[in-house]
Amino acid sequence: MSSETSFRLCSRAPRMMSWSATAVLEVGRCSVVRSRWCGESCPSRGKWSNRCSHSLPVVTTAPRGARTVSRTSDTPGCQDGRVTDLDALRRLPGAESALADVLAALPDAAWSEPSALPGWTRGHVVAHLVLNAEGMAAAVTAVREGRPATLYASQEARDGDIEGTATADPTVLRDRLRTATTVLAAALASLPDQPPEVDTAFVPRVPGSDRGFVIGELPWMREREVRIHLVDLDVGHGHRAWPATFSEQLVTSLAVRVDATLSASDADRTWHDAQDTATVVTGSLADLAWWLTGRGAGGGLSADGGPLPHVAPW
């Protein structure tokens, strides 16, 4: 089974999904209510999707006034009503370390060169990762202290901060990233010891937005940001270097983006789409995961009965 995450990476393309903050998340006896109203960018748009991730909590959101249909599913790593993704929490230090090593070896002149993301230099990618870590750490602290929290002050402020930070001296960016990731690591490490109401607190992406996340999702969200954007830097660190557990979790969370059955050639896993279409896409976990992000041309994948289905940028 699969689920679509409620969080996008930093794409500057228009965001098509519309969410309501009503009935954000319910947790009981280590089970998370999993149901989702699928919007325009989802293959199941206009329908309730009850397909759940095997390892991630899903924010329960719906258009105001919509009738909810939900079910519960046990979440590995969920204890005493908490939903922190402990697998991602354990993997995250390795991801941050790999990013830091790559940036330490990256010549200063290369920071202003284009990344693999349209319109962004490598400096933009690093600036985004810095600001993302700072925003996540601030959100955890605010929720812990009972204060209102958002990830960014506004969409315009977020975009402007990235533009302004991207041209900073690489030494400044490296130091700021090191500080931000250290503070974030301490904040995330505290989550298993926090009361469930901290772990399951909903945080809007920007003030007044219906789009957001629960605090317990942050380890997985940050790991995704770091590992995918490390490849986006286009410095020779490819997606096939990802841990298999990360790739499998990413496929599980993004499988809903395509009308096809997905089959991992290097693992005993198959993901069936809601329409049960005849198209079967086969490949390694890493190649499937990379393709589902809307990156690359599907290298290493094959599709029964025709070309690979289209996957929109994510």
* Domain stops at, among 239, 259, 292: 239
The tens digit of pLDDT for each residue in 90-119 reads: 999 999 999 999 999 999 999 999 999 999
Backbone angles phi, psi at 195, to 5 degrees: -60, 150
Residue 170 shares a structural domain with residue 262: no
Nearest-angstrom CA–CA distance, 161 and 190: 28
Average pLDDT in the 182-190 region? 96
Q: Is residue 64 part of a domain?
A: no
pLDDT for the residue 122: 98
Using the predicted structure, report yes or no on whether residue 74 has a pLDDT greater than 50.
Answer: no
Using the predicted structure, report yes or no on whether residue 71 has a pLDDT greater than 80.
Answer: no
Q: Is residue 196 part of a domain?
A: yes
Nearest-angstrom CA–CA distance, 25 and 200: 7
pLDDT for the residue 236: 95
Structure tokens at 79: 């204890």
Q: Is residue 227 part of a domain?
A: yes
Residue range of the domain that includes 265: 243-314
Using the predicted structure, report yes or no on whether residue 134 has a pLDDT greater than 50.
Answer: yes
Q: Is residue 289 part of a domain?
A: yes
Q: Is residue 291 part of a domain?
A: yes
Interacting residues of 90 by C-beta distance below 8 A, sequence separation 6+ = none
Domain total in the chain:
2
Question: What count of other Cβ atoms lies within 10 Å of the Cβ of residue 115?
Answer: 20
pLDDT for the residue 306: 82
Q: Is residue 268 part of a domain?
A: yes
Average pLDDT in the 190-195 region? 91
* Domain stops at, among 205, 239, 273: 239
Nearest-angstrom CA–CA distance, 46 and 265: 32
pLDDT for the residue 314: 82
Q: Is residue 68 part of a domain?
A: no
Comparing 16-25, 150-159, 186-195, which segment has the lowest mean pLDDT?
A: 16-25
Structure tokens at 13: 């393309």
The tens digit of pLDDT for each residue in 240-294 reads: 999 999 999 999 999 999 989 999 999 989 998 777 667 899 999 999 999 999 9
Comparing 39-53, 72-86, 107-121, 140-154, which segment has the lowest mean pLDDT?
A: 39-53
Backbone angles phi, psi at 247, to 5 degrees: -60, -40
pLDDT for the residue 99: 98
Q: Is residue 22 part of a domain?
A: no
Q: Which of 181, 201, 177 has the alpha carbon at shortest distance from 189?
A: 181
* Domain stops at, among 186, 206, 239: 239
Structure tokens at 186: 């301490």
The CATH number linked to 222 is 1.20.120.450
- The torsion angle over the Cα atoms of residues 303, 42, 129 and 108, rounded to 10 degrees, is 50
Nearest-angstrom CA–CA distance, 32 and 13: 31
Mean pLDDT of the chain: 78
Residue 248 shares a structural domain with residue 228: no
pLDDT for the residue 55: 33
Residue 123 shares a structural domain with residue 199: yes
Average pLDDT in the 166-182 region? 98
Are the C-beta atoms of 111 and 123 separated by less than 8 Å?
A: yes
Residue 248 shares a structural domain with residue 278: yes
Interacting residues of 309 by C-beta distance below 8 A, sequence separation 6+ = 258, 259, 260, 279, 281, 303
